[in-house]
Chains A and B, each alone.
Chain A
Amino acid sequence: MTNRRAFMKSGAMALFATGFAGGLPSFLARAADSHKLSVNYKKGKILVCLFQRGAMDGLMTVAPYADMQFKAARPNLYMSPAVTEGKLFDLDGRFGLHPALDQLFPYFTEKRMAIVHGVGSPNNTRSHFDAQDYMESGTPFNKGTASGWLNRAVGLMGHDATPFRAVSMTSAMPRSFYGDNESLSISNLQDFAIQMRGNPMAANLAAKSFEELYDQTSNGLLNRAGKESFDAIKMLNVNTIKNYKPAEGIVYPASPLGNSLKQIAILIKMNVGLEVAFAESGGWDTHFNQGTANGAFARNLKDFGDCIAAFWKDLGAYQDDVTLMTMTEFGRTVHQNGTGGTDHGRASCLFVLGNDVQGGTVYNNIQSLAKDALEDGRDLPVTTDFRSVFSAVANTHLKINNNNVLFPTWNGTPLKLMKA
């Protein structure tokens, strides 16, 4: 009971905050009236997923520098904490963090960020398309799964939501979001309005007409979606977005990822009901000259780390509500190839950042990197199923408990990397 009141109250506050004039938006009213509104609904928990497309070299990002077999396999790419070998941040005497992630390292020492290493899929495909497909559908041996795992996650939350519950900052819907539960893919939040270029008066009149027409239509689906659209426009307030200023001293890198994370921060701060957000980062397919402390890989990693750090700092007081998890379809070969890069491999690593994360640890089951211990004699073996990480985060942070639905065909147990 208290929760429902809390929800309505905060909902109303959100309206004032965004300058909404008029009645309660219909989806909020519906949520408030609905018997489906779960008693254990706790407003404000948000999961941000960041997909690194192209297969990030986990072994360069978080290097098992102490393993001399590793050094032998990558004579030109090897790095260690030594000043002469790239100055990795030493994490635990065994693994070292790439210097380009200097902005993220403090979160590891503060124990707010966990690293999971040796993560991947039991399906050993080394095709980007297939591996991304399997990771996003959450069913590594079944291509025909219609829904994505994040869409199922949304469905399992068991309470009504605003149209901004699941938002992907991409121009087309990602595979993770495929499915029956409503989700939104949008690359620019400012598009969220009735628009007529250079003619704002006409746009206003058209909006008024549309609102009326959708309000009156006999088709239930169009009627409801129409109402929600107009409530959502009022709630989102394009002007607030246009004039958004990040927290004092925060500058987002001027990159696509920076832009995506900034917009996610806006949605979080606007209190519009965001619960699952999705963004992408590209350029990880480093077959050629990936470099070490400098070079193509380091530059991309720097952008990645700086964007996440800017986002995290910008969140300020909202940090308690948010967990950010990164993922990539597979890792890269232990050995460097003939062109100063690495080829498609198996396991990689991922990051989980949040105040309810048991951070400061590199969770892993990695053994030696001797050739006969590698998968197919060449790759870091997958020793942690990606689903044991995804489910752990979803279970604790989003309070979803039905892992049979979240990851059908998987009967493993979640990794204990979140605070109980």
Chain B
Amino acid sequence: MPTHRFIKSLTVVTAVILCTAFIPIPAKQFAKINLPYSKAGLSKQQAAAHLLNRFSFGATPGEIDAVVAMGLEQWLQQQMLASMPEDEVNKRLSVGYEALALTNEQTVNTYVRPDQLLLIAAKKGLANRDSVKLAANTPEYRSQIKFLMDSLGLKPMTELHKQLVNQKVIRAAYSNNQLQEVLTDFWFNHFNVSLTKNQSQQFVLTYERDAIRPNVLSSFSKLLEATAKHPAILAYLDNALSVSNDNNLGNPRLAALAQQRLNKQMDDMEQDSTKKNQAKLMKQIANAKKNEGLNENYAREIMELHTLGVDGGYTQQDVTEVARAFTGWTIYPISDYGGGSNQRKLLERVGVSTLEKRGFIFQDDFMFRADKHDAKEKNILGEKFNAGGGYDEGMRVLSVLSSHPSTAAFICKKIATRFVTDTPSTDLLKKMTATYISSKGDIKSILLTMVEHVDFWKSATKHDKVKSPFELVISAVRATHADVKDPFQVFNWSTKMGQRFYYYQAPTGFPDKATYWINTGSLLSRMNFGLAFATQKIPGVQLNWAQLNNNHEPESIENALTVFSAILLPERNQSENIQRLLPLVKDVNIGAKITAAAQQNTSSEMVSTDMLQMEEPKRLNARASKSQERKALSKKTRQVLEMPYTAGTNSPIAQVAGIIIGSPEFQRK
């Protein structure tokens, strides 16, 4: 066990002492909160539905009544405490989810990247590099690799990805602490990292687990610090590689030679008018070279995307200065493979206490390398940072950023956009921002100010927020009490509809606006999802329509439509939807039953395709009265029509429900 683990507890203690000064002011008593839903013309029932729409991944059957019964304020309180038992989630995650409990160190040494695997294979002498690649697709190679992995206890990277993806689906669908899960989704997206980047993929799971989820209801500054120090962000935005330019480790002779050559080339080109363009490019490259050690990516994105916002009042100079303050913020070498183990041996040889005396900091897997830090004076957002600040400089930058008024405004707008409307009012934003500042970024307090504003409730009637694909699939699962045995299938559908979660490449995260989610291709996929889900064509996702209606057989297809509309879209105005669907539903009913009967009696004479064609004109005549309709039908057809509405996976109910799930109403929050 590496020595740095022993001092972990020590640094935590100091961190706690340091942090007490920034502890946010606690949210006010819940009993006193005032939810002005009646001012927005909502009944208590409708208000509960709205609350569940925004603060959960969708209401489960009967949940609205339960929230009304316990009181909306109490429900909010319970969700903000986020301490409800998680029996269902734990049960579902008990088998096949080994990765969820691993540390970063265990993860990187278990789920190896393909490039690491190749190196290990070569190193172990089981295969030399050449033969490995040459034989890459032969069965011999695969069995050899499998043997190697088994003997070393290694597992494929795809397995890590899969467990990460699956646990998100399970938690969102079945967690009792819904607000916590909704906020985990929100803050992860705000501080986005991606599985698409080779260097960060091993850390995405622990990032969500350790940096995001435990802090989503605490304070913004805690989230900011936790993300800043996590290996996932350090790798994804390259800060792990950012070192002071004064520590030039390259070959100085070669560097000087290259510089000479470059200068001469650029001089030559400046003279030649046809090569001005090239000269410009060369200059840019030379400039980048000069700053080779310094990497500004994290510095830029922490201000543009995480805190101040693009118009938050910082300059390029600030970006460079912040980058200098964060030089040396990196990841402890935890990998047993590649260069990591050598680096670790070196650190261990020198010893933690010696290194700490030199200004190194070790916290979990975060490491501050004093020897790579730019020790000179800095000037950031108008504040002077004296030379030699070391690790504390980065901490001070985090504090300056999280308490900046631009950050307050930027964060509150993002929260309001997610939970209220794509276009929040200035008054709402003003009040939320004021709370951000007075509570020092306490997330619960900001959320309370939001729900105490009438705008939050007014948005209930507009339904202008469109569900993201992930929200759509999970709300369908929740609304139907579906049993998701294979969560990866749910992920595949989300991908099809445009949200391949955990794989969004850019640090911006998925855009939070309806126009991003809704376009021709994605909308068709949403409709197809509704049909596939309701008719149980998604492998590993099961549901029981009859049970949802307490096994009451609806008396007519009209009644079935009313009942299941209310189950799937509770507290919405159904009448228009039902009116429009009614004539179509009759066709669906007959069609579905004929198909079901055909499937049940493939050899029977009861149903023939002839009958289907003969009856078609009649079926489509929706205006014919019921008795006329029935009289006109043959005896055989009547038998078919008397089958239960819920029979088979292609039952009329399933098809109608599929249409409701794919309908515009179900896409809206």
List CB contacts (< 8 Å) of A143-188 with chain B: 143-146, 163, 171-173, 175, 178, 180, 182-186
- Scan B361-384; emit 1 where CB is below 8 A from any A CB, else 0: 000000000000000000000000
Asked if A206 lies at the interface with its beta carbon under 8 angstroms from chain B, I say yes
Partner of B300, one of A144, A184, A339: A144
CB <8 Å contact, B528 and A288: no
CB <8 Å contact, B237 and A383: no
- Scan A171-215; emit 1 where CB is below 8 A from any B CB, else 0: 111010010101111100001111111010111011011101110
Asked if B653 lies at the interface with its beta carbon under 8 angstroms from chain A, I say no
Asked if A68 lies at the interface with its beta carbon under 8 angstroms from chain B, I say no
**Chain A residues within an 8 Å CB radius of B650:** 196, 199, 202
Closest to A207 in B: B527
In the bound complex, CA of A180 to CA of B513 (Å):
10
Asked if B587 lies at the interface with its beta carbon under 8 angstroms from chain A, I say yes
- Scan B560-598; emit 1 where CB is below 8 A from any A CB, else 0: 000000000000000011001100110110011001000
CB <8 Å contact, B278 and A202: no
CB <8 Å contact, B505 and A202: no
**Chain A residues within an 8 Å CB radius of B591:** 201-202, 205
Partner of B659, one of A124, A209, A229: A209
Asked if B301 lies at the interface with its beta carbon under 8 angstroms from chain A, I say yes
CB <8 Å contact, A184 and B521: yes
CB <8 Å contact, A228 and B520: yes
CB <8 Å contact, B503 and A122: no
With A202-B595, A385-B281 known as contacts, the answer to whether A194 contacts B300 (CB < 8 A) is no
Asked if A372 lies at the interface with its beta carbon under 8 angstroms from chain B, I say yes
**Chain B residues within an 8 Å CB radius of A348:** none
CB <8 Å contact, B588 and A173: no
* Residue total for A at the interface (Cβ-Cβ under 8 A): 81
Cβ of A62 to closest chain B Cβ, rounded Å: 19
Partner of B238, one of A130, A186, A192: A130
Asked if A282 lies at the interface with its beta carbon under 8 angstroms from chain B, I say no
Asked if A405 lies at the interface with its beta carbon under 8 angstroms from chain B, I say no
- Most chain A beta carbons < 10 A, residue from B292, B304, B521, B585: B521
**Chain B residues within an 8 Å CB radius of A214:** 523, 663-664
With A143-B506, A144-B506, A372-B257 known as contacts, the answer to whether A229 contacts B664 (CB < 8 A) is no
* Residue total for B at the interface (Cβ-Cβ under 8 A): 85
Asked if B139 lies at the interface with its beta carbon under 8 angstroms from chain A, I say no
Cβ of A350 to closest chain B Cβ, rounded Å: 16
- Most chain B beta carbons < 10 A, residue from A146, A206, A365, A383: A206
Asked if A281 lies at the interface with its beta carbon under 8 angstroms from chain B, I say no
Closest to B287 in A: A122
Asked if A30 lies at the interface with its beta carbon under 8 angstroms from chain B, I say no
Closest to A224 in B: B518
- Most chain B beta carbons < 10 A, residue from A223, A225, A296: A225
In the bound complex, CA of A340 to CA of B131 (Å):
11
Asked if B531 lies at the interface with its beta carbon under 8 angstroms from chain A, I say yes
Asked if B414 lies at the interface with its beta carbon under 8 angstroms from chain A, I say no
Asked if A123 lies at the interface with its beta carbon under 8 angstroms from chain B, I say yes
Partner of A221, one of B237, B514, B592: B514
Cβ of B375 to closest chain A Cβ, rounded Å: 25
**Chain B residues within an 8 Å CB radius of A127:** 198-199
**Chain A residues within an 8 Å CB radius of B280:** 411-412
Asked if B668 lies at the interface with its beta carbon under 8 angstroms from chain A, I say yes
CB <8 Å contact, A129 and B580: no
With A202-B650, A206-B655 known as contacts, the answer to whether A182 contacts B519 (CB < 8 A) is yes
CB <8 Å contact, B528 and A194: yes
Further pairs besides A122-B285, A339-B133: 17, Cβ < 8 Å: A129-B198, A146-B506, A192-B524, A195-B532, A196-B535, A199-B650, A202-B591, A202-B595, A214-B523, A221-B466, A225-B520, A232-B520, A288-B133, A372-B257, A373-B261, A412-B277, A412-B280
A-B contacts, 17 of them at CB < 8 A, read A124-B285, A163-B521, A180-B515, A184-B519, A185-B521, A193-B524, A202-B592, A205-B584, A206-B527, A210-B527, A210-B662, A213-B581, A213-B665, A219-B668, A222-B668, A225-B518, A381-B285
